[in-house]
Amino acid sequence: MRTLVIALVAGLVLAAPVAGQSSGTAIVAGQSSAGARIGGSVDEAAAALGSLYQKADTKSGKYTAYAWALRPVLALVDKESGKIVFVIVVNTDSYHTDRGGITGGTERAAVESAYGREFTTDEEGSSVTLIYDAQGIAFDIDKEGPLAGRVSQISVFVPGQWKTILDNL
């Protein structure tokens, strides 16, 4: 499941250069990330992130993934409702959480201090994901490389829907 999300991110986001971010730098669990609002539209996200984005349907066809060419951001939009249900910010310290100021590169201990130890994990490949499902936020912590033990990706989603969203990619 996470492999598909990572493949979408790699295919759509990581191939593009990252420009400096302007407004919308806060990440709020279950609500918004990088100017994209959970429950909002792609048009609203484009107003904050810019109109230069790529899109592709997920394998299941339930979601459309949008990736901004000049931002390390990917949003999943439910095709039926047209609403954003999942936003991922990858490999950047330009965006920060409203709680604890967590960014890319923040140590795992700081995440646990800010969000607590009541999380589930998904361990796949070179990272472990700390999933705060009820809060609507997850943090990928790298196991190796320059970000070992540190945040490499922050996901915001509809609270309580982590498994449902990933199972339907």
Q: Residue 18: what pLDDT?
A: 37
Q: Residue 21: what pLDDT?
A: 37
Torsion sign, CA atoms 142, 66, 36, 20: positive
Strands 32-33 and 127-132: unpaired
* pLDDT, tens digit (0-9, with 9 covering 90-100), for 137-169: 999 999 999 999 999 999 999 999 999 999 999
Q: Residue 35: what pLDDT?
A: 92
pTM beyond 0.95: no
Question: Per-residue confidence at 10, pLDDT binned at 50, 70, 90?
Answer: very low
* pLDDT, tens digit (0-9, with 9 covering 90-100), for 121-130: 999 899 999 9
Angle at 28 between CA 150 and CA 132, to 5 degrees: 60
Cα end-to-end distance, the chain, whole Å: 7
Q: Residue 19: what pLDDT?
A: 37
Q: What's the rounded Cα separation, in Å, for the pair 20 and 31?
A: 22
- The chain-wide mean pLDDT, for the chain, equals 89
Question: Per-residue confidence at 1, pLDDT binned at 50, 70, 90?
Answer: very low
* pLDDT, tens digit (0-9, with 9 covering 90-100), for 32-90: 999 999 999 999 999 999 999 999 999 999 999 999 999 999 999 999 999 999 999 99
**Per-domain residue ranges for the chain?**
2-167
Pairwise pLDDT comparison (9 vs 155), residue with the higher score: 155
